[in-house]
């Protein structure tokens, strides 16, 4: 089995794409919260956005680490 080398050249771009996608999903969820009268659905969307915010914090740390790694090369 051939092992692929670790290619980190585009990690920052990939992480940024994930950040943008997550923010977009959060915005869509906020719109749904405003439009729905279903309290159970509202709570589910609020909980999901809370998890997304935590995920964003992690992705931002990761992008910082990757940017620092790239600058060391």
The ranges assigned to domains in the chain are 11-72
Kindly give the residue spans of alpha helices, DSSP state H, lying in 1-73. 11-35, 39-72
> What is the spatial distance between Cα 45 and Cα 33, in angstroms, rounded to a whole number?
7
Residue 55: predicted pLDDT:
97
Which of 67, 70, 57 is closest to 18 using CA atoms? 57
Residue 1: predicted pLDDT:
65
Q: What is the pLDDT of residues 4-36, one digit of tens each?
A: 666 778 888 999 999 999 999 999 999 999 999
Q: What is the pLDDT of residues 37-60, one digit of tens each?
A: 999 999 999 999 999 999 999 999
Quick one: average pLDDT of 60-72?
88
In Å, what is the CA distance from 37 to each residue of 7, 11, 25, 29, 30?
47, 40, 20, 14, 13
Residue 10: predicted pLDDT:
86
């Amino acid at each position: 089995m051939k092992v692929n080398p670790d290619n980190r050249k585009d990690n920052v771009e990939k992480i940024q794409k994930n950040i943008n996608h997550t923010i977009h999903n959060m915005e869509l969820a906020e719109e749904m919260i405003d439009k729905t009268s279903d309290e159970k659905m509202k709570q589910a969307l609020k909980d999901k956005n809370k998890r997304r915010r935590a995920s964003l914090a992690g992705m931002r740390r990761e992008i910082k680490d990757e940017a620092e790694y790239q600058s060391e090369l």
